[in-house]
């Protein structure tokens, strides 16, 4: 039977043949997660995803969330799988078992997350945001706060959110106007309005815990005066029981293009002056807390987008093998030639090959970022720890910005493979396009990701992050150079990597000069080419493993391994030449977009 949601063989390849995650079990922290356990965990995740979550995707989209008199009702079909997520302890896969987590390596959790999010990520957001909010409590909370909130969150009994955005403070968080007024007893009255709050109000849990960014009365303007507060929907008594409603009012939900199953709420805090919050972490250090959580949140968004694309891809492969339409190109003139499966048409193959190579490259990249986080946790030397942390920091904007861009492209190709049927709601492809689209916007638009990459990450530690990454890529290239089949692709990637280094130097310098605006007009193209090179890197790495594995591969694995080499070949010969062209444009840094008179944009 055809696979659904994702390709297990490929996931296993990344986990066990590329990253060897079983090796992590040699370290105390992950001692329980040997290869066998990892496989069992992923089996369970797959079963839950395919049998219980996937059937909710279309209905969740059609029914959506209903807002009435301050209450949000989620689709009825969500209730059972949410209970199962809790039972299976899937809300906090990677967190401390003492607080209700499963304690698994992040790399392994990526595979489970791929299944879950590919099945229905609008549904998964209720759990995903809970996990993120819990991490804030775990990292910045007092013991009392952890005891009162954390276990209920990590077990999914209560859910969590993140209250950042306000009508005038979107990308520019520093302008937020939500106020916190000290009550003298250590608590604060919170007053303000927050918008675009995913899972901000719903009926899946008995309480919702809102970490809220607000400004304590008298605190400085801008980001320096922002503090983080813990604001539950219902107040929590010291014995852990629920107390009165905390004046957190849902005043509406957004009508959106997609993710209809997730409630995007406008929350009005303290309409009756009765919204009480407690400080989470230190005064005026709210932004720092947010930044620490940002990597995780952005990686999750990359995963959400990616999971849409992997589902779209596997659907397309299955469809293209079954759908009969048109004669084979070499038999176009034979009127009675049989119609063939569309996978035999070169243009359909071009689309599938494009999807395949991006999906594989993105999968490896996302799992790799998770693995770097694991390594940062378990390696002994401080130097290595720093290296892995740096790689994560550098790769996050790519794992969010580039990955969601390409994931959206893949979803669009996935619709195109289906032809007219792809545009109808009879098939899942159009929903995957709509759901995927928001991942390019929220959690920092992809433009913001590009600014982060060029403006912050590139120069961090005097460029050490970039040097480390180039070192890793070069190591892959050098291995590949010694292998017969992949060797030419290694050389193509090397050329692109060198050019990329040149572009990074050039933009880095320009950004420090009077050409700063021109340079930043190329931040996005720069993220784009960095992503291309990372894709090629991952595909070359995979192909090198595959070439070696082919020597003694079982028959059933031959097509898989050969397919790995084909992906690298396709990407290096078809995409990288375009990447080089893009790099040329970056090096030229044309100033038109910056110089043009505002009045020349007619509106």
The interface with a copy of itself within residues 536-595 (CB under 8 A) comprises 559-560, 562-563, 566-567, 569-570, 573-575, 577-582, 584-585, 588, 590, 592-595
Closest CB 582 distance from a copy of itself, rounded Å: 5
According to the binding rule CB under 8 A, does residue 285 interact with a copy of itself?
no
Q: Using the rule CB under 8 A, give the single segment among 41-49, 219-227, 500-508, 535-543 that binds a copy of itself.
A: 219-227
Name the minimum Å distance from CB 587 to a copy of itself. Answer: 9
In Å, what is the CA distance from 91 to each residue of 103, 109, 455?
11, 11, 34
Euclidean distance between CA atoms 35 and 86, whole angstroms: 24
Smallest gap, in angstroms, from Cβ of residue 168 to a copy of itself?
7
Orientation angle between helical segments 382-397 and 464-481, nearest 10 degrees? 90
Residues 143-172 that bind a copy of itself (CB under 8 A): 165, 168, 170-172
Sign of CA pseudo-dihedral 404, 405, 410, 416:
positive
Q: Which of 29, 36, 224, 461 binds a copy of itself (CB under 8 A)?
A: 224
Task: Using the minimum distance from each CB to a copy of itself, give the nearer residue, 241 or 602.
Answer: 602
Binding to a copy of itself (CB under 8 A) within 1-40 occurs at 2-3, 7, 9-10
Q: What are the angstrom distances between the C-alpha of 406 and each of 232, 446, 490, 526, 534?
A: 37, 12, 23, 15, 13
Query: Under the criterion CB under 8 A, does residue 241 sit at the interface with a copy of itself?
Result: no
Total site size for a copy of itself, rule CB under 8 A: 115
Are the C-beta atoms of 313 and 321 separated by less than 8 Å? no
Report the half-sphere exposure of 4 (CA within 13 A, side-chain side): 18
**What letters, b where the CB count within 10 A reaches 16 and e where it falls short, cover 173-193?**
beebebbbeeeeeebbbbbbb
CB of 8 to a copy of itself, least distance (A): 8
Q: Does 252 bind a copy of itself (CB under 8 A)?
A: no
| Min separation Cβ 366 and a copy of itself, Å | 18
Query: Which CB, 183 or 424, lies closer to a copy of itself?
Result: 424
Considering only residues 182, 326, 463, 508, which one is a binding residue for a copy of itself as defined by CB under 8 A? 326
Picking from 214, 161, 183, 201, the residue whose alpha carbon sits closest to that of residue 276 is 183
290 binds a copy of itself (CB under 8 A): no
Residue 52's contacts (CB-CB under 8 Å, 6 or more residues apart) are: 80, 81, 84
Long-range contacts of 575-580 (CB under 8 A, 24+ apart): 575/357, 575/532, 575/535, 575/536, 576/492, 576/493, 576/496, 576/532, 576/536, 578/532, 579/496, 579/529, 579/532, 579/533, 579/536, 580/495, 580/496, 580/499
Q: How far is the CB of 212 from a copy of itself (least distance, A)?
A: 18
What's the min distance (Å) between Cβ of 18 and a copy of itself? 16
377-416 residues in contact with a copy of itself (CB under 8 A) are 408, 412, 415-416
Record the tokens describing residue 569, joined without a space: 């070949």
Query: Residues 31, 426, 467, 498: which binds a copy of itself (CB under 8 A)?
Result: 426
Stretch that binds a copy of itself, among 19-27, 150-158, 338-346, 533-541 (CB under 8 A): 338-346
Question: Is residue 87 among the annotated active site residues?
Answer: no
With binding defined as CB under 8 A, does residue 478 bind a copy of itself?
Answer: no
Which residues ranging from 439 to 458 are in contact with a copy of itself (CB under 8 A)? 440-442, 445-447, 450-451
Distance CA 305, CA 374 (A): 22
Site for a copy of itself in 36-75 (CB under 8 A): none
Catalytic residue among 52, 373, 430, 443: 443
The Cα-based distances of 451 to 351, 498, 519, 522 in angstroms read 31, 22, 10, 9
Site for a copy of itself (CB under 8 A): which residue of 314, 375, 398, 535? 314
Catalytic residues: 443
């Amino acid at each position: 039977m055809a696979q659904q949601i994702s390709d297990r063989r490929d996931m296993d390849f990344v986990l066990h043949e590329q990253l060897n995650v079983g090796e992590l079990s040699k370290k105390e922290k992950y001692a329980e997660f040997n290869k066998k356990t990892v496989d069992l965990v992923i089996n369970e995740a797959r079963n839950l995803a395919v049998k219980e979550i996937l059937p909710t995707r279309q209905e969740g989209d059609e029914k959506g969330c209903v807002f009435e008199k301050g209450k949000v009702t989620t689709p009825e079909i969500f209730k059972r799988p949410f209970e199962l997520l809790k039972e299976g302890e899937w809300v906090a896969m990677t967190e401390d078992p003492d607080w209700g987590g499963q304690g698994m390596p992040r790399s392994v959790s990526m595979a489970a997350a791929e299944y879950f999010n590919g099945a229905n990520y609008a549904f998964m957001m209720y759990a995903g945001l809970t996990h993120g909010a819990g991490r804030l409590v775990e990292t910045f909370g007092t013991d009392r706060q952890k005891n009162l909130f954390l276990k209920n969150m990590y077990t999914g009994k209560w859910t969590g959110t993140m209250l950042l955005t306000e009508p005038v403070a979107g990308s520019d968080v520093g302008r937020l106007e939500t106020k916190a007024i000290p009550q003298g007893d250590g608590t604060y009255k919170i007053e303000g309005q927050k918008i675009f709050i995913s899972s901000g109000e719903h009926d899946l849990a008995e309480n919702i815990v809102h970490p809220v960014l607000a400004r304590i009365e008298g605190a400085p303007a801008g980001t320096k005066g922002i503090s983080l507060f813990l604001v539950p929907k219902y107040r929590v008594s010291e014995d852990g029981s629920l107390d009165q409603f905390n004046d957190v009012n849902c005043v509406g939900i957004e009508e959106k293009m997609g993710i209809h199953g997730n409630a995007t709420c406008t929350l009005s805090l303290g309409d009756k002056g009765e919204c009480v919050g407690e400080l989470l972490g230190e005064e005026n250090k709210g932004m720092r807390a947010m930044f620490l959580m940002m990597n995780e949140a952005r990686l999750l968004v990359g995963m959400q987008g990616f999971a849409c694309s992997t589902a779209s891809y596997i659907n397309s492969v299955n469809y293209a093998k079954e759908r009969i339409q048109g004669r084979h190109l070499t038999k176009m003139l034979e009127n009675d030639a049989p119609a063939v499966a569309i996978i035999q048409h070169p243009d359909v193959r071009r689309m599938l090959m494009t999807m395949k190579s991006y999906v594989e490259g993105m999968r490896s990249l996302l799992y790799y970022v998770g693995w770097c986080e694991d390594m940062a946790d378990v390696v002994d030397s401080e130097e290595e720890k720093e290296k892995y942390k740096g790689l994560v920091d550098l790769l996050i904007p790519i794992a969010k910005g580039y990955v969601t861009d390409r994931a959206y492209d893949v979803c669009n190709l996935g619709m195109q493979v289906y032809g007219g049927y792809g545009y109808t709601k009879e098939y899942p492809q159009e929903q995957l396009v709509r759901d995927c689209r928001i991942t390019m916007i929220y959690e920092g638009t992809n433009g913001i990701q590009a600014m982060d990459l060029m403006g912050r990450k590139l120069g961090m530690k005097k460029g050490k992050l970039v040097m480390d990454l180039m070192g890793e890529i070069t190591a892959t290239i050098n291995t590949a150079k010694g292998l017969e089949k992949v060797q030419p692709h290694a050389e193509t990637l090397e050329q692109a990597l060198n050019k990329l280094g040149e572009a990074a130097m050039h933009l880095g310098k320009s950004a420090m000069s009077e050409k700063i605006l021109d340079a930043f007009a190329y931040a996005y193209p720069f993220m784009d080419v960095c992503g291309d090179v990372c894709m090629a890197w991952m595909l070359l790495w995979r192909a090198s493993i595959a070439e070696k594995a082919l020597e003694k591969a079982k028959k059933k694995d031959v097509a898989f391994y050969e397919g790995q080499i084909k992906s690298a070949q396709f990407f290096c010969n078809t995409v990288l030449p375009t990447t080089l062209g893009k790099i040329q444009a970056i090096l030229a840094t044309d100033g038109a977009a910056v110089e043009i008179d505002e009045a020349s944009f007619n509106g």
